[in-house]
Amino acid sequence: MTQTASRTWSEIRPARRSAIPEGLWLRCTSCSKMIYRRQLETHLHVCPECGFHYRVGAEERVRQLADEGSFQALFEGLLPADPLKFRDLKAYPDRLKAEQAKTGRSDAVKAGTCFIKGRSVMLVCLDLTFMMGSMGSVVGEVITRAIEKATADNLPLVIVSGSGGARMQEAGLSLMQMAKTSAALARFDDAGGLFISVLTDPTTGGVTASFAMLGDVIIAEPGALVGFAGPRVIQQTIRQELPEGFQRAEFLLRSGLIDAVAPRASLRSEIARLCDYAGKGM
């Protein structure tokens, strides 16, 4: 396991799955060892040689966490609006269309009910493959609805974060989602709900500054970068050398910011165990 900057799996994976020959070798971006692509997939996209955790999208994440065939998607088809008529290099609606065509989803979140080792949960996964998992009005609304349904149905809530933060293109509307999701979580907490927050590489900005750090239990994957501003910005601001592994999961565990670092292969067991501890293992 190294602490170096990571690259998404999609960056090194050829775009057309069907065109990939069986048994193709790949070089791990972390340890540089040659590994079989299929072996990487059966290892949940974790390098079998060094344990490096590659980034995975929401679709794959649900496949890894939910009991097979149990996931029932909710709150789909919500579409982002562009009230600010925002334009950076591209107009926001054009950027959205391209992301929607690339990922086949309307925005950067996937939510639904499922079983995890037989425990019924509300599962929400941010999708890094869609505009870096950024939180705009749709992501905030889906998360809030998921929290409210988990409150009404007394379900444990699991949110897997992986996000660049609030979505710049929706400006203030994105920032409002921080308050909205946090308020919904406060009501969930008042109702005795269990919220397990799973942080993956990277979890940053307004997502870290709102729901991601409000878990009753906060678990991070090994090596995940978790913070508000990134290390480079902090280093430039305070003009000091940052300690080794700064803002990585293991560092945050030592600092007391998170409760556990759990390898991807143990996440299902960890979640099931926590549900049982909280008396929510229905």
- For Zn ion, the closer CB: 29 or 197: 29
Residue with smaller CB distance to Zn ion, 1 or 253: 1
Minimum CB separation of residue 5 from Zn ion in Å reads: 14
Minimum distance, C-beta of residue 27 to Zn ion, in the bound complex (Å)? 9
How far is 164 from 257, CA to CA, in rounded Å? 19
Residue number with CB closer to Zn ion (12 or 50): 50
Find tokens 């709900």 and name the residue: 193
Residue with Cβ nearer Zn ion (26 or 138): 26
Report how far apart the first and last C-alpha atoms of the chain are (Å, whole number).
35
Question: Of 40 and 207, which CB lies nearer to Zn ion in the complex structure?
Answer: 40
Q: How far is the CB of 48 from Zn ion (least distance, A)?
A: 8
Q: Would you list the DSSP string of the chain?
A: ---SPP-BHHHHS-S-GGGSPTT-EEE-TTT--EEEHHHHHHTTTB-TTT--B-B--HHHHHHHHSPTT--EEESTT-----TT--BSSSBHHHHHHHHHHHHSSSSSEEEEEEEETTEEEEEEEE-TTTGGG-B-HHHHHHHHHHHHHHHHHT--EEEEEEE--B-GGGHHHHHHHHHHHHHHHHHHHHTT--EEEEEEEEE-HHHHTTGGG--SEEEE-TT-BB-SS-HHHHHHHHTSPPPTTTTBHHHHHHHTSSSEE--GGGHHHHHHHHHHHTT---
Which of 44, 143 has the CB closer to Zn ion?
44
Residues that bind Zn ion (CB under 5 A): 28, 30-31, 47, 49-50, 52
* Beta carbon nearer to Zn ion, 27 or 87: 27
Rounded to a whole number of angstroms, the minimum distance from the CB of residue 4 to Zn ion is 11
In angstroms, give the least distance from the CB of 208 to Zn ion: 27
Shortest distance (Å) from residue 177 CB to Zn ion: 36
